[in-house]
């Protein structure tokens, strides 16, 4: 059995919950790379363009000019602005450097705005807003509370840039214990897989898109 404490991120935890075997093969063993789709490639390009515009006022390309009004609206909010802000915590939930060997959890917020005891955390989304996943905002907010100890309240949002819509949540510093509890069960499962070296498959209709070809449920599309 392993005595190592699992290291995680929100995307990694989500991948594990979707399929422990895929997570192990891709994230832990690095035997395979995730298949990069056109949608993923587009998302990366848009994130880069929005970051450059927000951080350095590099003009948006013609194809991305439709995102300018909402980005300008964010830029007008009072406070200190941080773009692509990297945060990490130790297992004791203390702030540490993103690349610290002893990090426990880490993540990158697309945009953070801190105005005294109020903060905003925004994550840009380029896909559909049909099935939003706001729990990512919860983890980003938990890390933000640690990295910015004067912040008492957070307004968090998933910004679906193609639709100009927000999915929003609000968090208070007093909520921190309950917010961490929401991750406890999933983290216990992940830690259990690591401790017992047990990474079961979770067959779904998406198996045809999985890069792990050495799997009994893999299907060629």
pLDDT (tens digit, 0 to 9) for every residue of the chain, 221 residues total?
Answer: 556 899 999 999 999 999 999 999 999 999 998 888 888 899 999 999 999 999 999 999 999 999 999 999 999 999 999 999 999 999 999 999 999 999 999 999 999 999 999 999 999 998 887 888 999 999 999 999 999 999 999 999 999 988 888 999 999 999 999 999 999 999 999 999 999 999 999 999 889 889 998 898 887 76
The reply to whether the predicted model has a pTM over 0.75 is: yes
- Residue 96: phi and psi, rounded to 5, are -145, 170
B/e letters for 139-161, b = 16+ CB within 10 Å, e = fewer, are bbbbbbbbbbeebebbbbbbbbb
Backbone angles phi, psi at 55, to 5 degrees: -90, -35
| C-alpha to C-alpha distance for 110 and 105, rounded to whole angstroms | 17
Which of these CATH numbers, 3.30.920, 3.90.320, 3.40.50, 1.20.120, describes 10-209? 3.90.320
Contact in structure between 121 and 145 (CB atoms under 8 Å): no
Q: Which residue has the tokens 């290291």?
A: 7
Domain boundaries defined on the chain: 10-209
- Selection from 195, 194, 123 nearest residue 161 by Cα: 123
């Amino acid at each position: 059995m392993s005595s190592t404490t699992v290291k995680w991120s929100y995307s990694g935890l989500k991948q594990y919950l979707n399929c422990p075997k895929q997570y192990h093969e891709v994230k832990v063993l690095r035997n395979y790379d995730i298949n990069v789709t056109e949608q993923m490639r587009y998302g990366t390009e848009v994130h880069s363009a929005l970051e450059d515009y927000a951080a350095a006022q590099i003009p948006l390309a013609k194809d991305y000019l439709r995102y300018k009004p909402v980005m300008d609206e964010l830029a007008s909010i009072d406070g200190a602005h941080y773009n692509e802000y990297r945060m990490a915590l130790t297992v004791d939930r203390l702030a540490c450097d993103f690349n610290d060997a002893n990090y426990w959890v880490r993540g990158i917020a697309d945009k953070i705005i801190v105005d005294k005891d109020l903060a905003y955390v925004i994550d840009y989304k380029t896909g559909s807003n049909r099935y939003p996943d706001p729990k990512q905002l919860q983890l980003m907010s938990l890390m933000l509370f640690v990295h910015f100890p004067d912040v008492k309240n957070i307004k968090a949002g998933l910004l679906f840039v193609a639709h100009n819509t927000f999915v929003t949540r609000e968090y208070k510093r007093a909520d921190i214990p309950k917010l961490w509890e929401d991750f406890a069960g999933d983290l216990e499962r992940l830690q259990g897989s690591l401790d017992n070296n047990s990474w079961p498959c979770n067959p779904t209709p998406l198996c045809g898109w999985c890069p792990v070809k050495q799997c009994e449920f893999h299907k060629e599309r």
